[in-house]
Amino acid sequence: MKKANIKQLRSRKILNSNGNWTIECQLETNQGKATAGVPTGISRGREEKAASPIEKAIQEINESILKEIKKKKFNQKSLDSLLENGGWGSNATLAVSAAFFNLTKQIDNPNFPRLMMLMFEGEEHGNPIFTIQEFMVVVNEIEKGIEYYRLLENKLKENSLLDTVGKEGGFSPLGLNNDEEVLDLLVSGGIKNIALDVAGNVNPPTVNQLVNLVKKYPIISIEDPFPEDDVDSWKSFYQKAKKVCPDILIVGDDLTVTDKEKIIKANKEKLINAVIIKPNQQGTITAAVEAVETAKDLDIKTIASHRGESTNDTWITDFALVNEVDYVKFGAPARGERIAKYNRLLELK
């Protein structure tokens, strides 16, 4: 792994996609300079590592973290080990860790992941009448996802439905009355590979409600179907959904929070067969890499994901390619902070 001598750190506050403050860090080493911005989740797992208030995070980077690493040589793993044990907020540590990753990464002949491209948003991300937070289409090419997005936009217009968008660029119309009307619209557009993020901590369904959706619609992935502490529902749904659709992905996010030990436990209890990877849930690139490697060892599918409150930074795209994840979630093909990540994929393809 590449090593670099740390010369300087500078952090500042910037605005994220929801108009709230986050932080950006510039790292300077003997190899050059790199920056990284830190995303924030709108809905978060209870056991995500805690972030520091913005001004405190800036102080942590510019003073205490800099003091610990200046004029020393690190690779990604050794730097992240220091960051993980320093008692700093996860936003401060990730800003430094991701900046170092941006400086030292190597992307050689990457295997491109499949895309879970957002089409509609509900719950805390959009129209709250929808109890499902994200309605996505799974595609192999960005161009196909954009084709579906435009088709659905035209369908909304034809039906005089307001085509406003949610926090991540997905449509969030006021004229549809429930989740099934959204799913019907997706199916009417010829979409056959639907992925859902239920965000079960917010508005949990019953096991049978979700199983019936899997029976009725071409759903191939369901993320966070239930609250993270409702293990019985996770187990029951896993068994029943697999009988209906043997290849369906049951995806852990708030349940597993990019923690390798939680991934191992959820796999052992037969709760999941896929997992979301969000580096800010644990605060370092290395912790996220370890989560990916653990999942791969267990034959669990990996999905690198943005957050609800994002920045224009594209390091999550590079992370996904470097670590050869199976899928990516970058939101809809709309809004600049989401488009930046898709454009980075196109650049590297």
Q: Residue 76 and residue 65: Cα distance in Å, rounded?
A: 15
Q: Residue 108 and residue 321: Cα distance in Å, rounded?
A: 9
Distance, C-alpha 14 to centroid of its chain: 20
Which of the following is catalytic: 24, 168, 223, 309?
168
Token pair listed for 339: 């488009």
Would residue 105 show up in a list of annotated catalytic residues for this protein? no
CB atoms within 10 A of CB 270: 13
| Secondary structure (DSSP) of 305-348 | E--SB--S--HHHHHHHHTT-SEEE---S-SHHHHHHHHHHHHH
Total residues belonging to the chain:
349
Kind and range of the H or E element at 33?
strand 32-37
Which of the following is catalytic: 278, 301, 329, 341?
278
Q: Residue 205 and residue 123: Cα distance in Å, rounded?
A: 13
Which residue bears the tokens 């199976």? 326
Kind and range of the H or E element at 82?
helix 76-84
Would residue 168 show up in a list of annotated catalytic residues for this protein? yes
Answer whether 222's CB lies under 8 Å from 250's CB.
Answer: yes
Token pair listed for 65: 């973290």
Answer whether 38's CB lies under 8 Å from 248's CB.
Answer: no
Which positions are annotated as active-site residues?
168, 278
